[in-house]
Structure formats: C-alpha cells, structure tokens
Structure 1
C-alpha cells in the first residue's frame, strides 16, 4: 500500500518512507507514465510564517486520451462539517457531492464518492483512494486552516519509464532501501531536486523530468485506442495486480451538478 499523508509523508512503491514538503502554492508531478499523469498542489501554514509545513489540497489525474480529473479538498463556502466535503470534476464537469455513492464509468473509469472519500479505478491501470481531511482541528496557527487530502494507491500497472516524486518508486529496478533518507524533499530517494518536478498548472506535464506522458504536448493528436492499448500493455508490469472495474456496464451512474 502506497500513501501520501498529512504534511506530506510518503510511503513509496517499495515500502520506503520519506517526506516531500515542496513549497506552498507550487504544483508537483507525483506520477507520470505513458497514459497516466498526476499532479499535486501544495498549501502551507495559514497563520504561522515560522512553521514550514505543507499539505496537499488538490490532485489532478490525466488519463490520456480520455479524461482530465481533479479531486480538491475545497468545499463550497458554508458547507456544514457533517456534510460531504471536497470537489470532484471530470472533463470540467462537477460531480454532485450530495449523492454519496455516485459512480462514473467510461473506458474503464469508475469514480465513487462518499462523505469524505473518493475512490478512483481505471481498469488495468490504477486503483486509488483519496481522503478529505476536514479543517476542524486545524484552525490554530500551526495548521493549514483548510481541508487537505490524503492519498492511497492500492494497485497499478506501470511501464519501466514511470517517473514523478512517487511514480519512480514503482519501477521494478527502483531500490534505495540501503540509502539514507536525507531531507525534507525526498533527498536520498528521488532523482534530482524538488523543483525538477514543478509544473505550470494542474493539467500540465511540463516539469523537467516529465518526458514520458503521451499527452504532454496536448491532446489534439489522439492515438487510436486499440493501437495505444496494444503498444503499452506489452511494456507494463503490475505492482499489485490489475485494478478491477467493469467498463461494459449499461448502468447510467452519472450525476452532474
């Protein structure tokens, strides 16, 4: 089980634990591969400039060439503490937050919303869970003062070219368990420096080390679905087995605001 928790503590693909703080307001590539790219946006401490903590408050998932997905910890103003929190969008459309079992299915994509959790599965590619941590206990000067996200990945398929702050740890050849974890930004674990993973926007794939994602130069020249699937599946390895979702369902589970 791979996770990013709190201010942010990573559990890597090989079980190694390390921190990656980054800088408040910056966006970093957490995972990038041929068909899948994920970015995370960081926020800082609201009331204490002396404390240097950061938290992840939004993640984007680009599933090329089909979907741009965002999961944000931010809730509409006035949302009661006991209500559903967070915001989910798919290709620019916002999923209803009041229907806690909402599900979408196209091209193997399934999204389930619960009160403070979002479950995303892309068939044969990814299975993850996002938790919206509500801000009730973070109103003091040492906290973010806003909701933030925890992320957990339980299964994925990746190529050997996979990269990103966490993505590189899913390579079959990745093994740094004998090296010391040196610093607050993954030193001793990740390739390069934190700034090498900065992108210009939530749906950008233009970081220094973002060279593998097929959609990094835009989505206008889409590859044929059959050719892309055949080409990439031959290169991929499974981290914990295939993620499960039924893309052939006839159910219309969409609910949009």
Structure 2
C-alpha cells in the first residue's frame, strides 16, 4: 500500500535568467520534499512546492496569495469553492476519514473542477488501495472528453485555449491557460509515516490518493473570493489565528458548493456562460487497483 521513499533527493536548478547570480545553479531538494521542489531564484534556495503561495496540499494545507499558511478542513465527500472570480471558478472535492476522537474529519482534496470561458476541466486522483509511483492514477477530462497522455515526461495535449503537460512520467502534470492560470497537480498517497504521526488510521483498503496542487493566477480581479481566492485581494486581512500549530480557516458554509461544477456557492463571482448544464454532477473516476511493489503489473476495477 505504501510508497517507497526515494533513495536520493532530487536536484533542481534556477531557470530564471533574470537572476544571473543564481541562474543554472543546482540545489538538492530539502528533506520534507525530497522528490519535488523548486528553486526560489531570489533567495537562491530550494523550496518545497507546498510551501509556496498558491499551494494546496496535505490535510488540506493552504498557502494564501498573501503568503500566510492556514488549514481548511471542510467536510468529507463534499465540495467547496476554492477560487471564484468573474472569469474563473474552481471547486474542490474533499475526501476523508472521520476520527471518532475529534469533532471534524481528516480531509484531502481528491478532485478539482475548473470553469473558465465556456470550458470545464476536471482533474482527479483515482481511488486506489495499493500505491506504486510507476502506475498513473491521474485522470483529466476537458469539456467531458478524457485526455490521455503518453506516460513520458513532456507529453503534451493542447487545445486553442489550454495546454496540459506531464512533468513526470506519471501522476504529475501542469495545466496552463494563457493569461489566466497555471495549475500544477500531483497525485500522492497517504504514507505510512503520515498515518502514524497524524493518527489517520489508513488501512490497506484505501491509501487515500489525493492531489497536491500549486496555483498561479495571471488576471484575478479585485473581487476574487473562495477559500484560497480571497487571499489574493489587496484588501484581504487574514482571519486565521496566528502563532498556533494549526491556524484554521472557517467559513465552511459560505464556501460549500453543491457539486464540482456548480457556480452558486454563497461567495460566487463567476459570470461565465455555461448554459443550463453548469451544475451537472459529473461522476468522478473511481478505480480500485492492486499492484506489486516491483511495478510489473496492475489490475484495476471500476
């Protein structure tokens, strides 16, 4: 069920030529994210993607546009508005487990539904019990069409508006719409160590594969809202209690959405024209997979 940690940390380089003192310099990813990080070319240091503004990772841990880290737990098996603006709307579907000793669910973001112009983009982590990095558990649909990319770094699909590219052979893509957004989405499991530390109680039935996300926005308005979106407003003042171990963001009720492609959450700003089917509750991919640790085979059932 659990993944094998990488034997050697990944090495990354600064790719921004506007920082000549750091450009092309090589850095080793830090211990918290040995297999995936970026170089902050300003400080010339490696940084975990989940520690950068626009990140949504783990249980779910957000890093706002203001740089402040907070947690928003939501509710398992429910959908919440992450970003809503006049030309962009992003909902997240939360999966989770109930802890009988707590008054909340352990939750993770399993899928996101993205609406822009007249388009619908769905990015999902497929349900699986056993985890192997070489088996792809990432599902993408664009306007209802399943997008299948060859399992090779650099594989790309493009439409007139959208580019989808693999940045690893499996489970890791970047989606970009020019002048609107760039989303990096990686499917990750709950590891044995994470389950032990946080008392998640993960069993062999489900490793709770979910998405680690990194958002970059290019044209947000001053009215943007949503769990993450509100933190990009110039007048936004963080409501989370600082200086505590887990600063929590409330407001579950005002961010709750009927489904992944609904645009009628209480804080909605979206003005896109999607017709009468904009609130259709699309069925999420659900696969049960078993694979050996050596990655030689996989069998999945819907």
Aligned to 1:199: 257
Q: State how far apart, in whole Å, the 1-side matches of 2:195 and 2:116 are.
A: 35
Residue matched to 1:124: 179
Confirm whether residue 37 of structure 1 aligns to residue 89 of structure 2: yes
In the alignment, the residues of structure 2 paired with residue 25 and residue 76 of structure 1 have an alpha-carbon distance, to the nearest angstrom, of: 16
Q: 1:43 to 1:123 in 2, by over 3 A?
A: same
Structure 1 gaps of 5+ residues are 188-192, 221-257
Cα distance in 2 between the residues matched to 1:198 and 1:185: 16
Task: Give 3-state SS (helix, strand or coil) of 1:158's partner.
Answer: coil
Aligned ranges 1:150-161 → 2 under 5 Å: 150-161=212-223
Distance (Å, rounded) in 1 between the aligned partners of 2:155 and 2:91: 24
State whether residues 173 and 186 of structure 2, in contact with CA within 8 Å, keep that contact through their aligned partners in structure 1. Answer: yes
Q: Larger RCO: Structure 1 or Structure 2 (Cα < 8 Å, ≥ 6 residues apart)? A: 1
Aligned with 1:206: secondary structure? coil
Larger Rg: 2
- Aligned CA distance change for structure 1 residues 107 and 175 (closer, same or farther; 3 Å): farther
SS at match of 2:275: coil
Could you tell me how far apart the structure 2 residues matched to 1:116 and 1:40 are? 18
Question: In the superposition, relative to structure 1, how do residues 35 and 167 fare at CA in structure 2: closer, same or farther (>3 Å)?
Answer: same
Identify if the C-alpha distance between structure 1 residues 176 and 81 changes in structure 2 by more than 3 Å, giving closer, same or farther. closer
Q: CA RMSD in A?
A: 2.8
Return closer, same or farther for 1:156/1:50 CA change in 2, 3 Å cut-off: farther
Deviation at 1:148, TM superposition (A): 0.6
2:120 is aligned with 1:68: yes
Q: Deviations over 1:185-212 (max 9, x none)?
A: 514xxxxx211111111111111111x2
- Give the TM-score normalised by the residue count of structure 2: 0.62
Count of residue pairs brought into register by the alignment: 211
